[in-house]
Structure 1
Amino acid sequence: MTCTGCGAQEFDEGFLEDGGESSRGYTRWIEGPLQRGIFGGARTMGKPRREVRAFRCRQCGHLELYAGDYV
């Protein structure tokens, strides 16, 4: 993996925390444009979800995010 910010190749893996109400403690990517429901929350019913993996460049701090089918 190469940093798109500075070209370095050393990363630390981490994750993005979701601290919202009823959160599961991690962030997910949801396919499609944001659509809001009647109370202003995101409409996600029936949309594919992907776990987000985050890697921080040791050189410049840039975050590289990947959404995929991870186990």
Structure 2
Amino acid sequence: MDLRCTHCGEEGLEPGFIMDSGENSRGFARWVEGALERGIFGGAKLMGRPKWEIDAYRCRYCHHLELFAARPS
């Protein structure tokens, strides 16, 4: 699949991922459905909310990032 940058219009986006190195992380970021709600200790409320893996692409020309919520995690 050859994707086109929505910022500059060039073809040839490089695949990559958004790293998450926080406490208890899995090493990659996920998209969570709904607005951010914080729990009693300040962390995001995640229980029962759908989570999707993020596919990330970087334009080789303008370095713009394109993110897609590709599949449930």
How far apart are residue 4 of structure 1 and its match?
Answer: 1.1
In the other structure, the counterpart of 1:23 is: 25
Identity over aligned pairs, percent = 54
How far apart are residue 42 of structure 1 and its match?
Answer: 0.1
Q: Which runs of 5+ in 1 are unaligned?
A: none
Change (3 A) 1:32 1:64: same
Higher relative contact order (CA 8 A, sep 6+): 1
TM-score, with normalisation over the residues of structure 1?
0.94
In the alignment, residue 8 of structure 1 is paired with which amino acid?
A: E
Question: Aligned residues, how many?
Answer: 71
Among 36, 51, 54, the residue aligned to 1:52: 54
In the other structure, the counterpart of 1:2 is: 4
Q: Which runs of 5+ in 2 are unaligned?
A: none
TM-score, with normalisation over the residues of structure 2?
0.92
